[in-house]
Chains A and B, each alone.
Chain A
Amino acid sequence: MSVELDVFVGNTTIMDEEVYQLWLDGYTVTDAVKVRMEGGVLDECEANADVVLSDTMDQYRTFHMCERLLHSPAKLANQLLYQITPHRQTILIERYYAFDDGFVREVLGKKLSKGTKKDLDDISAKTGVTLKSCRRQFDNFKRVFKVVEELKGPLVENIRHHFLLSDKLAKDYAAIVFFANNRFETGKRKLQYLTFQDFAFCAGQLINNWTVGAVAGPDSFVDNMVEDMDVDLDKEFLQELKELKILITDKDLLDQHKSLVCTALRGKTKTFNEMEANFKNLSRGLVNIAAKLTNTKDVRDFFIDLVEKFIEPCRSDRWTAADMKLYLTHYTNSVHILDTFKHQIVWDRYMGVIKSCIFKMYHD
Chain B
Amino acid sequence: MPGKLKAKIVAGRHLPVMDRASDLTDAFVEVKFGNTTFKTDVYPKSLNPQWNSEWFKFEVDDEDLQDEPLQITVLDHDTYSANDAIGKVYIDIDPLLCTEAASVISGWFPIYDTIHGIRGEINVLVKVELFNDLNRFRQSSCGVKFFCTTSIPRGYRAATVHGFVEELVVNEDPEYQWIDRIRTPRASNEARQRLISLMSGELQRKIGLKVLEMGGNAVVGYLQCFDLEGESGLVVRAIGTACSLEKLSSGSILNTHTHPNTAPASNACNSPSKDGKESPLAHGCRSTHNSPVHSACSSQRLSQNFSISVPTLIFTGMGSGGSAGKEAGPLKTLLRQQTQTALEQREFPFFTLTSFPSAFLLHVGGVVNARSVKLLDRIHNPDEPETRDAWWEEIRQEIKSHAKALGCHAVVGYSESTSICEEVCILSASGTAAILNHRYMREGCLDIGSTDHRFEEPSPPTCGFCHIPYDELNMPFPAQLTYCYHCRRQKVPDVLFTTIDLPAEAAVTGKGCHIQARLCRLKKKAQGEVNATAISNLLPFMEYELHTQLMNKLKLRSMNALFGLRIQISVGENMLLGLASATGVYLTALPAPGGIQIAGKTPGDPSNEQHILTIQKRINDAIAKNKELYQINPPELTEEGVGSPIPEPRQRSRLFRSHSESSDELSELDLSHGKKDAFVLEIDDTDAVEDIHSLLTDANPPIGFYSCNTETMPGIYNWTSGIQMFTSVRILRLSNTNLTNQGLNKIFTDLCENLLKSFYFKLRSMVPCCLCHLNFTVAVPEEELIQVAVTAVAMTFDKDQTQEKLAEKLIPKGGSDTDEQLQFPLELCADSSNSQPSSKISGVPESTNISSRAASVDYGSFADRCSTWLELLRLKAHTIRRGSVKTSRRTQSLAHSVSSLEHSSPLPEGRSRSLRSSRSFGGSSVTVVKMTPLSFLPGTRIIKYLGIINMFFIRETTSLREEGGVSGFLHSFIAEVFAMVRAHVAALGGNAVVSYSMQDCVLMENPNKNQAQCLINVSGDAVICVRESDQDSLASTTTIGHSCSSTTDVTT
Query: Do chains A and B interact in one complex?
Result: yes
How distant is the Cα of A46 from the Cα of B759 in the complex, in angstroms? 12
> Is the beta-carbon distance between A55 and B762 smaller than 8 angstroms?
yes
Do B897 and A8 touch across chains, with their CB atoms under 8 A apart? no
Asked whether, in the complex, the Cβ of A77 is within 8 Å of the Cβ of B925, the reply is: yes
> Bound complex: CA of A188 vs CA of B912, how far in Å?
39
How far, in whole Å, are A157 and B890 apart by their CA atoms in the complex? Answer: 25
Q: Are A79 and B730 in contact (CB under 8 A)?
A: no
B215 proximal to A (CB < 8 A): no
B926 touches A85 (CB 8 A): no
- The answer to whether B915 and A47 have CB atoms under 8 Å apart is no
Q: Which of A1-56 contact B (CB under 8 A)?
A: 1-14, 44-48, 50-52, 54-55
B1006 contacts chain A at the CB level, 8 A cutoff: no
Determine which of B732, B908, B914 lies in contact with A3 in the assembled complex, contact meaning CB atoms within 8 Å. B732
Query: What mask results when residues 894 to 906 of chain B are scored 1 for a CB within 8 Å of chain A, else 0?
Result: 1001001001100
Is the CB–CB distance between B754 and A83 below 8 Å? no
CB-contact partner of A80 in B731, B734, B926, under 8 A: B926
* Complex Cα spacing A47 to B733, Å: 23
Bound-state Cα–Cα, A20 to B77, Å: 41
What distance in Å separates the Cβ of B48 from its nearest Cβ neighbour in chain A? Answer: 11
What is the chain B residue whose CB lies nearest that of A218? B908
Partner of B761, one of A7, A47, A161: A47
Say whether A363 faces chain B, with CB atoms less than 8 Å apart: no
Residues of chain A contacted by B972 (CB below 8 angstroms): 65
- In the complex, are the beta carbons of A81 and B880 less than 8 A apart? no
A181 at the interface (CB under 8 A from B): no
**Could you tell me which residues of chain B, from 738 to 764, have a CB within 8 Å of some CB in chain A?**
747, 754, 757-764
Docked-complex contact A77 and B761, CB < 8 angstroms: no
A161, B873: Cβ atoms closer than 8 Å: no
- Cα distance, A158 to B912, chains bound together (Å): 9
Instruction: For the complex, give the distance between the alpha carbons of A88 and B726 in Å.
Output: 18
Report the nearest B residue to A9, measured CB to CB: B974
A123-170 contacts to B (CB < 8 Å)? 150-154, 157-158, 160-162, 166-167
Q: Are B761 and A45 in contact (CB under 8 A)?
A: yes
The reply to whether B979 and A80 contact each other, CB–CB distance below 8 Å, is yes
Given A14-B724, A153-B914, check contact A55 B979 (CB 8 Å): no
B916→A150 contact, CB < 8 A = yes
Q: Which residues of B contact A72 (CB under 8 A)?
A: 920
Contact of A221 among B891, B904, B911 (CB under 8 A): B911
Q: Is the C-beta of B921 less than 8 angstroms from some C-beta in chain A?
A: yes
The stretch that binds A, out of B130-138, B347-355, B928-936, B1044-1052, is: B928-936
Instruction: State how many angstroms separate the Cβ of A81 from the closest Cβ of chain B.
Output: 5
B866 interface residue, CB < 8 Å from A? yes
For residue A273, give the distance in angstroms from its CB to the closest CB of chain B: 48
Residue numbers in A under 8 Å from B922 (CB-CB) = 78
Say which residue of B702, B893, B926, B970 sits within 8 Å of A46 (CB atoms): B702
Distance A72 CA – B918 CA, assembled complex (angstroms): 12
Query: Is A203 interfacial (CB 8 A cutoff)?
Result: no
Contacts of A161 in B (CB 8 A): 866, 904, 912, 915, 918
Cα–Cα, bound, A120→B907 (Å) = 38
Report which of A54, A90, A162 forms a contact with B897, defined as CB distance below 8 A: A90
Contacting residues, chain A, for B904 (C-beta < 8 A) = 157, 160-161, 167
Q: Are B758 and A55 in contact (CB under 8 A)?
A: yes
Asked if B449 is at the interface of the complex by the 8 Å CB criterion, the answer is no
Of the 9-residue stretches B202-210, B365-373, B407-415, B960-968, which lies at the interface with chain A? B960-968
**CA A181 – CA B928 in complex, angstroms?**
41
Chain B residues in 8 Å Cβ range of A13: 975
Complex Cα–Cα for A79 and B734 (A): 39
Nearest A residue to B869 by beta-carbon distance? Answer: A77
- Nearest Cβ in chain A — how far from B724, in angstroms? 5
Chain B residues in 8 Å Cβ range of A52: 761
- B976 near A: Cβ within 8 Å? yes
Chain A nearest CB, measured from B1048 CB (Å): 31
Question: Which of A5, A65, A85, A152 sits near B975, CB closer than 8 Å?
Answer: A65
Q: Which B residue sits closest to A221, measured CB to CB?
A: B911
Task: For B966, list chain A residues within 8 Å (CB).
Answer: 4-5
B669 contact set on A, CB distance < 8 A: none
CA distance A7 to B924 in the complex (A): 31
User: Would you call B729 and A5 a contact (CB within 8 A)?
Assistant: yes
Given A50-B754, A81-B110, A83-B929: A2 touches B921 (CB 8 Å cut-off): no
Task: Establish whether residues A57 and B925, one from each chain, have CB atoms under 8 Å apart when the complex forms.
Answer: no
> When the two chains form the complex, which single residue of A9, A77, A94 contacts B728, counting CB atoms closer than 8 Å?
A9
Output the least CB separation between A84 and chain B (Å): 10
At the interface, yes or no: A342 with Cβ under 8 Å from chain B? no
Please tell me which one of the listed residues B118, B762, B877, B897 contacts residue A81 in the complex, with CB atoms under 8 A apart. B118
Whether the pair A7, B733 counts as a contact (CB closer than 8 A) is: no
* A1-B734 contact given A12-B724, A160-B904, A166-B897, CB 8 Å threshold: yes
Interface size class of B (residues with CB under 8 A): 35 or more
The interface residues of chain A lying within 8 Å CB-to-CB of B970 are 5, 7
Q: How many angstroms from the CA of A152 to the CA of B910 in the assembled complex?
A: 11
Q: Which of B732, B758, B903, B928 has the largest count of A CB atoms less than 10 A from its CB?
A: B758
Is A2 touching B733 in the complex (CB atoms < 8 A)? Answer: yes
Find out whether the CB atom of A4 lies under 8 angstroms from the CB atom of B760.
no
Is B94 part of the binding interface, using a Cβ–Cβ cutoff of 8 Å? no
Bound: A10/B920 CA distance, A: 27
CB distance from B283 to the nearest CB of A (A): 31
Partner of B967, one of A46, A61, A154, A157: A61
A66 and B880 alpha carbons, distance in the complex (Å):
22
> Roughly how many angstroms separate A253 CA and B966 CA in the complex, as a whole number?
79
- C-alpha spacing A166/B734, complex, angstroms: 50
Which one, A8, A62, A152, A160, contacts B914 given CB within 8 A? A152
Whether, in the assembled complex, B983 has its beta carbon less than 8 Å from a beta carbon of chain A, the answer is: yes
**Docked complex: B714-742 residues within 8 A CB-CB of A:** 724-736
Asked if B699 CB lies within 8 Å of chain A CBs, one says: yes
Decide: A48 and B1003 in contact? CB cutoff 8 A: no
Task: List, in ascending order, chain A residues with CB within 8 A of B925's CB.
Answer: 77-78
Closest residue of chain A to B965 (Cβ to Cβ) is A5
CB nearest to B911 among chain A residues: A153
Q: Is B186 an interface residue (CB 8 A)?
A: no
**Given A10-B725, A61-B967, also A44-B761 (CB < 8 A):** yes
* Residue B473, interface by CB 8 Å: no
Determine whether the beta carbon of A83 is less than 8 Å from that of B928: yes
Give Cα A221–Cα B907 distance, bound, in whole angstroms: 12
B650 contact set on A, CB distance < 8 A = none
B68 beta carbon closer than 8 Å to chain A: no
CA distance in complex: A266, B912 (Å): 52
Chain A residues closer than 8 Å to B13, beta-carbon distance: 78
A320 to B729, CA, bound (A): 66
Q: Are A2 and B912 in contact (CB under 8 A)?
A: no
Known: A161-B912, A221-B911. A65 touches B971 (CB 8 A): yes
Which residue of B is nearest A86, CB measured?
B876
Contact A3 B907 (CB under 8 A): no
Answer whether residue B982 sits at the interface, using C-beta atoms and an 8 A cutoff.
Answer: yes
Q: Are B734 and A47 in contact (CB under 8 A)?
A: no
In the complex, the answer to whether A151 meets B915 with C-beta atoms within 8 Å is yes
Does B356 belong to the interface (CB within 8 Å)?
no
Q: Does the CB pair B724–A11 fall under 8 Å?
A: yes
| Bound Cα distance from A265 to B647, whole angstroms | 105
Q: Is the CB of B911 within 8 A of A2?
A: no
CA distance A52 to B907 in the complex (A): 47
- Are B757 and A7 within 8 A (Cβ)? no
The answer to the question of B785 belonging to the interface, with a C-beta cut-off of 8 Å to chain A, is yes
Can you identify 25 A-B contacts, CB atoms within 8 angstroms? A1-B732, A1-B734, A3-B731, A4-B785, A4-B966, A5-B729, A9-B728, A9-B971, A9-B974, A11-B982, A14-B762, A14-B763, A45-B705, A46-B757, A46-B760, A47-B760, A51-B754, A61-B968, A77-B926, A78-B13, A80-B108, A80-B926, A87-B887, A150-B916, A158-B915
- Taking A54-B758, A87-B893, A154-B911 as known contacts, 19 extra A-B pairs with beta carbons closer than 8 A to each other, sorted by chain A number, are A4-B731, A5-B729, A7-B728, A9-B727, A9-B978, A10-B724, A11-B724, A11-B929, A11-B978, A12-B724, A58-B762, A64-B968, A72-B920, A77-B869, A80-B979, A81-B110, A85-B928, A87-B890, A222-B910
Listed from nearest, the 4 A-B pairs whose CB atoms lie closest are A74-B921, A5-B731, A222-B910, A4-B731
